[in-house]
Amino acid sequence: MPVMPPTAARSSLRLLGLALFLLLVTGCASRDLATRDLAPGEGLTIERALILSAAERSLGTPYRFGGNTPDALDCSGLVSLAYRTAGIPVPRTADDQFRALPSVDRARPGDLLFFDTAGRGKASHVGIYRGDGQMIHAPGRGRRVETAPVEIAYWQERFLGAAAAAP
């Protein structure tokens, strides 16, 4: 087996390193929906823990347009219910929530993720960021509150922004 001269080996390693760096930078730059999980030891505030607990208890609840009780929920009703559990009032509709709540650059667990699923340029869907690239949301008629990955193309293409109403 032929041995590469030391300068050729270093050049190959530099090229490989540069290629990996560019791949990493390009991959990060193309992400629209930015999320941030908690660092070890960072912990959740009590409000965020309550929001996530209420949202997780709602998993499997049937969807109903206008629903905001434990018996039936729509997407913004899920948010209203979960945030009400934590003592945080929020507007009722996804678009009102999107317009009224303080936006954040990177969502943390318990923050809200807003989407334009109707193609009208306004928030028509909202989910609660759970962490680990997942959100809890009420997807629509005939379905139930579920967990969904936020990194799939459908959500990425419709993402409007994130908001944090909880400390």
**In terms of DSSP bridges, do strands 68-69 and 72-73 run parallel, antiparallel, or are they unpaired?**
antiparallel
Side chain identity, residue 67:
G
Beta bridge partners of 149: 134
End-to-end CA distance of the chain: 62
Check whether 40 has a pLDDT greater than 90: no
Give CA separation, 53 vs 46, 107, 110, 124, 150, in Å: 10, 17, 10, 24, 19
**39 vs 167 pLDDT, higher one:** 167
In this predicted model, what pLDDT tens digit does every residue of 117-148 receive, in sequence order?
999 999 999 999 999 999 999 999 999 999 99
Check whether 36 has a pLDDT greater than 70: no
CATH number at residue 72: 3.90.1720.10
Q: Are residues 137 and 82 in the same domain?
A: yes
Residue 20: per-residue pLDDT: 36
Return the percentage of the chain with pLDDT > 70, whole number. Answer: 75
Find the domain containing 10 and state its range.
1-30
Q: Are residues 22 and 79 in the same domain?
A: no
Q: What is the DSSP secondary structure assignment for residue 40, as one 8-state letter?
A: T
Number of domains observed in the structure of the chain: 2
- Residue 40 located in a structural domain: no
Rounded to the nearest integer, the mean pLDDT of the chain is 84
Note the pTM of the prediction, 2 decimals: 0.77
Q: Are residues 81 and 133 in the same domain?
A: yes
Q: Are residues 23 and 80 in the same domain?
A: no
In this predicted model, what pLDDT tens digit does every residue of 49-69 receive, in sequence order?
999 999 999 999 999 999 999
